[in-house]
Amino acid sequence: MIDYFLVYLVMITVFLLMDFLWLGVLAKSTYQKYLGHLMREHTNWLAAIAFYLFFVLGILFFAVIPANEKMGFNYALLYGAFFGFFTYMTFELTALSVLKGWKLTIVFIDIIWGILISAFVAMVGFWVLGIMR
């Protein structure tokens, strides 16, 4: 069990670094362009922290642990990608359907980002767990 906790800590660190780089530097102007009129002046950190904690736990639970137990690296990659696709797609399509001003461009950008970051973090988790065992 301690192995999974340590892997989780590595995964959440990687996820946070990647997402902060994405949101704060690489795609910042894109989000500002398409969603600036919807953005808060200050981040709701409690909601953000809850998202990060639970989302990475989902990657661990649905991709890394099963991959480690029976399926291997390809499972971690594929199921991490699927987890990112379905979770980001759920939010994006819901937002597109109920929020005024939500842009289709952001839907595609975010779903692709969700797939990439989730797959990568699942691979990192699988790799770290393999090193520990």
> pLDDT (tens digit, 9 = 90+) per residue, 68-126?
988 789 999 999 999 999 999 999 999 999 999 999 999 999 999 999 999 999 999 99
Report the alpha-carbon distance of residue 120 to residue 79 in Å, rounded.
11
Average confidence score pLDDT of the chain: 95
DSSP H helical ranges for the chain: 2-21, 28-35, 45-59, 65-66, 73-98, 104-132
* CA angle 121–126–131, rounded 5-degree value: 125
Tokens 């989730």 map to which residue?
118
Domain count, the chain: 1
Is 36 in a helix, a strand, or coil? helix
Q: Which two tokens stand for residue 85?
A: 């696709």
**For residue 133, is pLDDT > 90?**
no
pLDDT tops 90 at residue 18: yes
Q: Residue 132's pLDDT band (boundaries 50, 70, 90)?
A: confident
Q: 44: pLDDT confidence band, cut at 50, 70 and 90? A: very high
pLDDT at 121: 98
Q: Say what percent of the chain tops pLDDT 90.
A: 86
- Cα distance between residue 43 and residue 81, in whole Å: 27
Tokens 């910042």 sit on residue:
28
Domain span at 30: 2-132
